Amino acid sequence: MVLSLTPAPTACLTGSCSWVENVLYRFIGINDARGGTITAFDQAGNLYGISNYGGAHGYGAVFELTPSAGGWTESSLYSFTGFSDGAYPGSLLVGVDGNLYGSAGRVPGGGGYGYGVAFQLVPSASGWAYQVIHTFTEAESYGFGNLVQDSSGNLYGTAHTRAIHARLHISRS
């Protein structure tokens, strides 16, 4: 479910003011972006997000919510296959150029080397064109976090090396 929260219409003079909740969209099926997370919006007011387990193949999806007269309309922009395109997206942002950028995680065999990818979605006449812009190797990544972008268009993010991941895994058992 996607919600909006707006402050109460009267001015708040204390630290315990109420906000008004409004349901914008309810995910309805296994092929949509069920369990989706809103991560970005554009200047036109469209919301963009990712779903870890939704999409046509069950490996996650990138979706858009567009305001319409009757509420909001969901469009699936890309469904991950779990192969060279990665799986289980972990981040998404609207770039300074208007394109979408994100990261998708690892599955056995996913992302070329099995360690995930950074990707780009570019608007085209037929929808959005997906492109892997970087494939992570074992030496570079064993999962990664959110991406951010500077005003020049450079992307930055964090990654766990295999040794750090193993140490974290051992400390949890």
69 in any annotated domain: yes
Task: Let me know if 1 is exposed, middle or buried by CB neighbors in 10 A (0-12, 13-18, 19+).
Answer: exposed
Q: How far apart are CA 67 and CA 45, in angstroms?
A: 7
- Provide the pLDDT for residue 8: 77
6 in any annotated domain: no
Q: How far apart are CA 162 and CA 144, in angstroms?
A: 11
Q: Residue 127 sits in which domain range?
A: 22-172
Per the listing, tokens 């750090």 go with 164
User: Can you list the residues of the chain whose pLDDT is less than 70?
Assistant: 30-31, 107-114, 139-145, 159-173
55 in any annotated domain: yes
- Provide the pLDDT for residue 144: 60
Residue 140: CATH number of its domain: 2.40.10.500
- Provide the pLDDT for residue 132: 93
pLDDT digits (tens, 9 = 90+) for 121-159: 999 999 999 999 888 777 655 556 678 888 888 888 776
* CA-based nearest residue to 59, from 27, 92, 22, 85: 85
14 in any annotated domain: no
- Provide the pLDDT for residue 140: 58
pLDDT digits (tens, 9 = 90+) for 25-35: 888 776 677 77
49 in any annotated domain: yes
* CA-based nearest residue to 131, from 110, 101, 172: 101
Number of domains in the chain: 1
- Provide the pLDDT for residue 50: 93
Per the listing, tokens 């492109």 go with 131
50 in any annotated domain: yes
98 in any annotated domain: yes
Instruction: Give the E-state strand segments of 2-82 in sequence order.
Output: 2-7, 19-25, 37-41, 47-51, 61-68, 71-79
Its pTM stands at 0.82
12 in any annotated domain: no
Query: Residues 91, 103: contact at Cβ < 8 Å?
Result: yes
